[in-house]
Amino acid sequence: MMEKIIFALITVMIIFLLPPLLDGISRKVKAKIQYRVGASIFQTYYDLQSLLNMEPILPTERLAFRIAPYIAFASALAATLVLPFGSFVPVAFTGDFFVFLYVLAMFSVAMMIAGFSVNNSYTNAGANREMMLILSIEPVLGVAIGVFALNAHSLSIGGIPLNITFTPSLILAYVLLAYAVYVEGGFIPFDIAEAETEILEGPLCEYSGRLLGMFKWAMLIKRLALLWLFVSFLVLPIMKNIVDITTFTGGLATLVAQLVVLFIIYGIIAIIEASNARLRIDQAIRQNTKVFFAGLVVLLIAALGW
């Protein structure tokens, strides 16, 4: 029981407090690439703190506008809860893989609600872009996880990484998953919905103060959820051969391994972000569509058992 509580505590810390730190590190990495001193790695905490302490200015009376950041936050949170943290999965049940996809889509829906609830061509354009982007990438994510599920004969995210067998289609599935996670995370060149220099942060354009802070925090948590999924799929199959994950120490070791890989991946992402320009929405959609069809081929290969 004690062990469970400790894991639960660590998990909560990771979900709430790690994302801003990761963002801070990413900013520092970018600064280094750009020969800058850069802000402190804790800068994102300071930003969030000051935003959360500020009264928002409301451009509209609509409830949807005020509620959207909280929906986004709740969805991002829900998405993290079905992921395995070491041996610990906060909410585990069969079919949670669908829930994961649903709540991620919910996050985007919250963005769209935010964008469409005000009469502003910038937020509308942003919401539109978010919709198009999510419609083109969610299937890719679904297909990628589908290949894993097919391989592992499991529909639970906690169960998939422990039961996969190594086949050629699996490598392709990893590539697909990495791509989907990257796009869905809204990293450059796919930060199209929030493009600052084009549509002034799109759906977030009219937000300020606490509501903006909630949105930003939610976005960081969503990124963590996506990356944690990828990291778990990468780390757990390896760790299960080295340690016994179900024991306390084994679980802890796995968690540490997950964290290490997460930091490395976040660093790599920062480098990719720093060396790319933003794509246009039509370019991104075309690319995503191509990847989706490639994904279907991978699914076919996996279904054939390779």
Partner 1 sequence: MKYLEELKAKFGERIEEIKQLAHNQWLITVDKDILHEVVVYFLKHPEWKETQLSTMVGTDERPLRGKFSVTYWLSVNGNSDDVYIGIKAYLPADDPRFKSVTPLHKGANWYEREVQDLLGIIPEGHPDPRKLVLPDDWPSCVYPLRKDFHYSDSPQGEKYYPYREPPQGTTVHPIGPYHVALDEPAHFRLYVKGEEIIDCDYRGFYSHRGIEKISESRLTYDQICFIAERICGICGFTHSTAYCQAVEAAGEIEVPERALYIRTIMLELERLHSHLLWIGVACHLTGFDTGFMHAWRLREHVMWLCERLTGNRKTYGINLVGGVRRDFLDYRKEMIEDVLKKLKSEFGKLVDDLTSTKTFIKRCEGVGVLPYKLAHEWSVDGPLGRGSGRDFDVRRDHPYAAYGDLDFKVPVYKEGDVLARALVRIEETWESIWIIEQALDQLPGGDILAEYKEIPPYREAIGTTEAPRGENVHYVMTGPGNTVYRYRARAATYNNLPAVPDMLRGYTIADAPLIIASIDPCYSCTERVQIVDIESGKVRILKEEEFNKLSIKASRRV
Partner 2 sequence: MPVTLRYPFTELEAPPEYRGLPHIDPKLCIGCGACVNACPPDAILRIDDYDRGTRKIVLDIGRCIRCARCEEVCPTGAIRLTNLFEAASPDRRDHIEVVELRLVRCKVCGNYTDFTERQVKKALQILPKEILEEEALEEKVFICRNCRRKGTVDATINATKEVVL
Which residues sit at the interface with partner 1, rule CB under 8 A? 30, 33-36, 57, 121-122, 125, 128, 188-189, 191-192, 195-200, 274-283
Length of the chain measured in residues: 306
What is the rounded CA–CA span in Å between residue 233 and residue 228? 8
Of 6, 10, 31, 67, the one binding partner 2 by CB under 8 A: 31
Q: How many residues bind partner 2 (CB under 8 A)?
A: 6
Q: Is 30 in the site for partner 2 (CB under 8 A)?
A: no
Q: Minimum CB separation from partner 2 for residue 29, in Å?
A: 13
Burial class (CB in 10 A: 0-12, 13-18, 19+), 281: buried
Nearer to partner 2, 38 or 209 (CB): 38
Partner interacting with residue 60 (select from partner 2, partner 1, none; CB below 5-8 Å by kind): none
Helices 168-184 + 121-152 axis angle, to 10 = 160
Task: Return the one option of partner 2, partner 1, none that residue 245 interacts with (CB less than 5 to 8 A, by type).
Answer: none
> Measured from the CB atom, is 36 or 153 closer to partner 2?
36
Give whichever of 143 and 285 is closer to partner 1, judged by the CB atom.
Answer: 285
CB 38 within 8 A of CB 270: no
Interface with partner 2 includes 210 (CB under 8 A)? no
Residue 277 site contact among partner 1, partner 2, none (CB < 5 to 8 Å, cut-off depends on kind): partner 1
Pick 30 or 66: Cβ nearer partner 1: 30
Does 38 interact with partner 2 (rule: CB under 8 A)? yes
Q: How far apart are CA 221 and CA 17, in angstroms?
A: 9
Residue 121 or 165: the one with the smaller Cβ distance to partner 1 is 121
Position 36 contacts partner 2 (CB under 8 A): yes
Q: Which is nearer to partner 2, 32 or 210 (CB)?
A: 32
- Which of 30, 32, 66, 210 binds partner 2 (CB under 8 A)? It is 32
Written as six digits, the tokens of 12 are: 């909560």
Contact yes or no for 22/259 (Cβ under 8 A): no
* 40 scored as a contact of partner 2 (CB under 8 A): no
Would residue 68 be called left, alpha or beta, if left means φ above 0 and alpha means ψ between -120 and 50 degrees? Answer: alpha
**Residue 213: count of CB within 10 angstroms of its CB:** 21
Q: Which residues contact 302 (CB under 8 A, 6 or more apart)?
A: 147, 150, 151, 167, 169, 170, 173
282 Cβ contact partners less than 8 Å away, ≥ 6 residues apart: none
The binding site for partner 2 (CB under 8 A) comprises 31-32, 35-38
